[in-house]
Each structure stands twice: as structure tokens, then as C-alpha cells.
Structure 1
Amino acid sequence: MDVPELLEAASLMVPEEVATENDITVRDVWDYLVHDEWEIALGLLEEFGDACSLPLAFWEKLAEAADQLQLRRSAAWCQWRCSELRNGLIRAELTLSPAAEARRTTPIPGAGVLRPMWDIGLLSPTGGRAVSIAGLWVENQPMLEPGGQATVRLIPLTPSHWTHVQPGQRITMHEDRAAAGTAVILEVCRPAPVEPAR
């Protein structure tokens, strides 16, 4: 499929009554598609992901369109949203340790490339602390400085490790043995049910 076909197919998955925070509806997206304003249409379609729950196929089509348009961050975001549906999502308020107290002295990238370890209260078979890996996306920021605070989105590498995690729970981020930061869980979304093949 080419870009217009992908965007049109994705737009057909958005309920007509849904609107973004700025009162944009899918009809506005169609107007941009008619005028070959593909990048604007893609950006608006991405906003619908915050307005309502959309299926995996929606995000897959947007990811492919963004990739064809060579919009790297947008493609990464849409692929991230696909992973959230497959593996679940944990939103948390993360505070990184200051540079003087941790090994990290540089900002962490915000666009989902970091996959740190997390102490989420699990124990190893010998009774020691066990950590679980989750990818990290910083919301609304390109990066997070040491000592900084931001809302982050975590995608568990092994979702079954995270089933006990609840809002309000404090977890610890590690990049090595020392704590790199602490986070308070805000929201937990389990993996989406697998859609039957058509």
C-alpha cells in the first residue's frame, strides 16, 4: 500500500464521533488526505490514539506510512504504540538520580531506545533481588536530564513479570547495580487481546 492508502485505511478505523483535544475529527483528516497533506493527516491520526482506544492494525498502518514518508520519530512512535498493545503499558512518573549520585551523567534519550532494568519487587530463586527489563519512552520531551523528572511510558519485555504492578507502587530503575532513578506507577494497561486473523 502507498501512503495515501495506508492513511485512508487507518482513518476508517477511527469512529466518526471521536474528537481530539482540539476538536479535530476524522473528517478533518479526510480533508487533508484529499489535498495530499499526508504528513499533517498522519500527525492528526496519531492524536486520535490519545482520544480513544484504537486497534493494532491502526498503528501498524500509521507506522508503515511514517516509514514511507521517512518521518523517523513518528515511525518510532507508531511502532512503540504497536508494542504497547502487544506487551502492555505502564505509565509512571520517573525521577532520575542526579549526575553526582549516579553513574549516568548524560541525558537519557526520550524516543524509546533505552531498555533499562527495573526493580519491581520480584525475587530470584535464591531470594535475592530480581530485575525485569522494560523499554522507556519519555512523554513530551526529546530527552530527560540527570536529576530530571517526567512522565514515562514503559513496555515490559516480559509482560508476565509485571502483572502485580499497581498504580501508586514505587519501582527503581537500574542501568547497573546502582539505582539510576525511581518511578511511581500512574497507570497500568494490560496487553490488548489478540485480534483474530481475517
Structure 2
Amino acid sequence: MVDNQRMDVPELLESASLLVPEETAAGNDVTVQDIWDYLAHDEWEIALDLLEEFADGRSLPLAFWEKLAEAAEQLHLERSAAWCHWRCSEIRNGVIRAELTLRPAGEGRRTTPIPGAGVLRPMWDIGHLSPTGERAVSIAALWVENMPVLAPGGQATVRLVPLTPSHWTHVQPGQQITMHEDRNVAGIAVILQVHRPAATPRR
């Protein structure tokens, strides 16, 4: 992670905003200049939220998300910090978006909702076999979009960050994969988008 030990929240947010192209506007037509105005009035949380919105669906550098994560931690915004660290992981390891349907509570091992903020690292059957011909699973962390949790039997769009990106190079949109927390199928996912790891400069 970048060395931000001597940077406070406004400095971190100002530094992050400089990494956003000036012509960029968020979905509500807020511009980078608007963010600077919020920073000038010490509206740090609003500026942080807007910077996260700016980055939605855009390719911004790893340093952008590292600075936002550090700012969110200093502001004690746990979910925001978790999201920014998650986006750092997406840049390093790639991300697969998928539509996931969990098995109902009576049909699978899980009887409680899965947390949405990237703490679960289930196993996934993505078509690999072991040298002996048995199913070989791969691990990927799971973030549920726009929902704090996903209950058994529920359906949501999820983001998967592979633990070992090289295992996932063959997956394609439209492919069906299965989620496992033990030997049984915990859920079925259909891949929507695949984004490979970004080339990040060596430190």
C-alpha cells in the first residue's frame, strides 16, 4: 500500500481527486470541481462518497483506491473502507461479475445469510479437474452488489475476486459455475462479465 502515514483525510481525498480526469462527471453530473468545493468546506464524507461514485464502472489506478481506503479508515467508515480495499483487490487479481442464486435453507448446508461485504471466500467449481480426474475447486472472495447480505434461496449480482487469477483465465460470460462451502452445491452463478487483472507498476 502507498505510504500515507503523514497524510490526513483532506490531503488523501485531494490526492485521489487529482487522479480523476477533469472532464469526468458522475451519474448526477457532479464534477471534480464540485468535489474540491466540498473539500474546501470540510465535507469529507460527501467528497469520499462522490469519489467512489466517480470510479463506478471506470478504470482508475490502484493509487486512487488506496488513498480512498486510507481516508475511509481515518473517518471510521468501515463499509466504505472495505469497498475501497475490495476495489484494490479487483485491480490486482481481476474480477468476475455474476448472477448468483443460493440454494434454499432446507436444501443446503447454509441456514443464515452470507455477508455481502467481501468477507466470505467460498470455493467455486469452474470446470477444473485434479490429476486423478476429480473435481478441483478454486477460491474466490465474494461481494454482493447493492445488498448487505444474501439470504439462502436469494438471488443477486455478485463480484468475485479470484485468489489465484491464473485459474480463472478460461471463464467467459454466459458460463455457469457452482459455489461450494463443503462438498455440496451452495449456489449456482452465471457469469456476466470478466475483467482481467490490471498491469500495475512494480513498487
* Alignment-derived partner of residue 5 in structure 1: 11
Question: Compared with structure 1, are the counterparts of its residues 174 and 51 closer, same or farther at alpha carbon in structure 2 (3 Å cutoff)?
Answer: closer
Does structure 1 residue 163 correspond to structure 2 residue 169? yes
% identical aligned pairs: 80
Does structure 1 residue 21 correspond to structure 2 residue 57? no
Contact 1:18-1:51 at 8 Å conserved across structures: no
- CA distance in structure 1 between the partners assigned to 2:162 and 2:14 by the alignment: 31
Question: Compared with structure 1, are the counterparts of its residues 178 and 87 closer, same or farther at alpha carbon in structure 2 (3 Å cutoff)?
Answer: same
Equivalences for 1:28-177 in 2 at 5 Å?
Answer: 28-177=34-183
| Pairwise CA distance, 1:19 | 1.1
SS at match of 1:52: coil
Q: Which runs of 5+ in 1 are unaligned?
A: none
- CA distance in structure 2 between the partners assigned to 1:148 and 1:195 by the alignment: 40
- CA distance in structure 1 between the partners assigned to 2:192 and 2:25 by the alignment: 24
For normalisation by structure 1, the TM-score amounts to: 0.98
* Alignment-derived partner of residue 3 in structure 2: none
| Pairwise CA distance, 1:48 | 1.2
After superposition, the CA RMSD in angstroms is: 0.8
User: What is the aligned length?
Assistant: 197
| Pairwise CA distance, 1:52 | 2.0
| Pairwise CA distance, 1:196 | 4.8
Question: Compared with structure 1, are the counterparts of its residues 159 and 51 closer, same or farther at alpha carbon in structure 2 (3 Å cutoff)?
Answer: closer
Question: Compared with structure 1, are the counterparts of its residues 158 and 151 closer, same or farther at alpha carbon in structure 2 (3 Å cutoff)?
Answer: same
- CA distance in structure 1 between the partners assigned to 2:37 and 2:188 by the alignment: 45
For normalisation by structure 2, the TM-score amounts to: 0.95
| Pairwise CA distance, 1:23 | 1.1
- CA distance in structure 2 between the partners assigned to 1:74 and 1:10 by the alignment: 15
- CA distance in structure 2 between the partners assigned to 1:139 and 1:28 by the alignment: 27
| Pairwise CA distance, 1:24 | 1.4
Runs of 4+ in 1 over 4 A off after TM superposition: none
